Amino acid sequence: MAVTVRIPTPLRPFTAQQASVSVEGDTVAQVLEQLTTLHSDLRPHLFGADGSLRSFVNVYVNDDDIRHLQQTGTRVTASDTVSIVPSVAGGSGATAEAARPAALPPLSPDEVSRYSRHLIMPEVGMDGQQKLKAARVLCVGAGGLGSPASLYLAAAGVGTIGLVDFDTVDRSNLQRQILYSTADVGRRKLDAAAERLRGINPDLRVIQHETRLTSANALDILKDYDVIVDGADNFPTRYLVNDACVLLGKPNAYGSIFRFDGQASVFGAPGGPCYRCLYPEPPPPGLVPSCAEGGVLGVLPGLVGTIQATEAIKLIIGAGQTLAGRLLLIDALAMEFRTVKARRDPACPVCGDQPTVTTLIDYEQFCGIPQAAAQTALPAEFETTVEALKRRLDRQDNVWLLDVREPSEAAICRIPGATLIPLGDLSRRLSELPTGPTAPDIVVHCKMGGRSAKAVQLLRANGFTRVQNLTGGILAWIDRIDPTQTKY
Ligand SMILES: [Zn+2]
């Protein structure tokens, strides 16, 4: 029985860029076995060392999660579509009505004319617009998702918008973070964002939380808001926002993006699922690249952030059906929008029947960040600096330079003489490296030093002894040796 399996863009490098693959099988287990036989590089991304399906990879048959069917024993027929939906980092129905003041604030004559297109719609009307004016929405992150979300929420008449961010505006943000203009490069994001949002609506109250959201401050920051818009770009913050929302009973308009794929949902609604119900465990650090490493289409956060703003507005005015209980999947390459069911897990450690997480935890630890840092840390003798490399290249020492970035990155900037072998290809291209008693020393570099540290460990495990990691990568090289090249 030939069944169609849909492949999300993060996993398409392992299926020769195919968006869907037709494979034989009568059960999900057979389908996945056939799929990973056809595309063997996909196997470690779907299955753990013990052969079980990884917990951060969800599989759906049509719009049902197989965990709520017969797991991998679920039977499939030719008319079924199997979807693989991994968790992605880059980046609510308790209605907010309970939190609104008993008496709604009246609209001024200016506000009546400003919001006239809302007021004439029965779903919003005077009552809905007053609810928006009374509402307090917190955007976690003033980046790709927070930009369109906060701009539309401000324009729609939300009275109070809080922003959590601690970054300054970088030139590389402007491709998607439409809160900022070229003149804002170098400014504190929250200053520039507040100015831009007040430019839309001078009556808007913008509350700046210039800090990293942590377990120590999250409950205190979130408690004063009616709806949370999660625009985080990393897994620890995602789980932190999720747990804080569940503990406080706040709806979370969730969105995440990676390359051409987007996800949106509403978590933390009464009776509804939370992020942990879908993804009980985060992926190991480094397995799922961030947008900074893997890239993101500039307009994609525009699509997803606008959907988050739409959900926030519906939660505030109490209209329509939110995405609570559904996960929206967006494939911008095929331009397909689909929803799959998202169910509350009675065994969920946060929102389940017997919750075990009743206070905020250490999310860096939960996501394995310190453990991974300890694992990839190299002894000092396996690190070298850009200055030392420059001296050795200048005196024509016997050095062989290996670049483990992707070809698209090497097209932007290169250290002269480096051989390009992307990290993902390295294990099967080891024969291209120099070996033997007179072989040169190998110095490995990437963008910032993370991937090259992994490459050094891989080479050491394969018997290469004279191999060093270029600390700080090509960015350090450009900063300290060759500022004529362009950073990315
Ligand atoms: Zn849950």
Strand residues in 29-100 grouped as ranges (E): 57-61, 64-65, 81-86
- What does the angle CA 370 – CA 371 – CA 372 come to, to the nearest 5 degrees? 90
Q: 456 CB contacts (<8 Å, ≥6 apart)?
A: 378, 382, 444, 467, 468, 469
Compute, in angstroms, the gap from residue 456 CA to the centroid of ligand 1.
Answer: 39
pLDDT over 80 (residue 43): yes
> Confidence band (pLDDT; 50, 70, 90) for 73?
very high
446 is catalytic: yes
Order of strands, sheet of 441-445, starting from the edge strand that comes earlier in the sequence: 383-384, 467-470, 441-445, 399-403, 419-420
Compute, in angstroms, the gap from residue 57 CA to the centroid of ligand 1.
Answer: 16
274 is catalytic: no
Work out the angle between the directed axes of helices 189-200 and 146-156 (0-180°, nearest 10): 30
Compute, in angstroms, the gap from residue 304 CA to the centroid of ligand 1.
Answer: 22
The whole-number pLDDT of residue 98 equals 43
Q: How far is CA 334 from CA 63, 118, 127, 181, in A?
A: 18, 33, 39, 30
Compute, in angstroms, the gap from residue 274 CA to the centroid of ligand 1.
Answer: 4
Compute, in angstroms, the gap from residue 348 CA to the centroid of ligand 1.
Answer: 5
Compute, in angstroms, the gap from residue 221 CA to the centroid of ligand 1.
Answer: 21
Compute, in angstroms, the gap from residue 132 CA to the centroid of ligand 1.
Answer: 28
Joined together, the tokens standing for residue 151 give: 């701009």
What is the three-class DSSP state of 152?
A: helix
Question: Which residues make up the environment of ion ligand 1, defined by Cβ < 5 Å?
Answer: 274, 276-277, 348, 351
Compute, in angstroms, the gap from residue 216 CA to the centroid of ligand 1.
Answer: 21
Q: Please, what are the domains in the chain?
A: 2-86 (3.10.20.30), 96-100+135-372 (3.40.50.720), 377-480 (3.40.250.10)
- Compute the average pLDDT of residues 195-214: 97
Helical (H) or strand (E) element with 23: strand 20-24
Q: Which of 139, 274, 348, 446 is catalytic?
A: 446
Residue with tokens 């080891």: 430
The whole-number pLDDT of residue 86 equals 81
d(CA 186, CA 104): 40
Q: Which of 139, 274, 291, 351 is catalytic?
A: 291
- Compute the average pLDDT of residues 70-75: 92
Annotate 201-256 with DSSP letters as a single string.
-TT-EEEEE-S---TTTHHHHHTT-SEEEE--SSHHHHHHHHHHHHHHT--EEEEE
Query: In the beta sheet, which residues pair with residue 115?
Result: none
Q: Considering the chain, what is the average pLDDT of its residues?
A: 91
Contact 254, 237 (CB under 8 A): no
d(CA 262, CA 334): 12
Contact 141, 302 (CB under 8 A): no
User: pLDDT tens digits, residue range 270-312?
Assistant: 888 999 999 998 887 766 666 667 778 999 999 999 999 999 9
pLDDT over 70 (residue 42): yes
d(CA 197, CA 362): 33
Quote the pTM value: 0.79
- Compute the average pLDDT of residues 208-219: 97
User: pLDDT tens digits, residue range 344-401?
Assistant: 999 999 999 999 999 999 999 998 888 877 777 788 889 999 999 999 999 999 999 9
- The Cβ of residue 238 has, within 10 Å, a number of other Cβ atoms equal to 27
Residue (of 390, 384, 389, 398) closest to 453 by Cα position: 384
- Compute the average pLDDT of residues 424-439: 92
User: pLDDT tens digits, residue range 135-162?
Assistant: 999 999 999 999 999 999 999 999 999 9
Polymer length in residues for the chain? 488
pLDDT over 90 (residue 458): yes
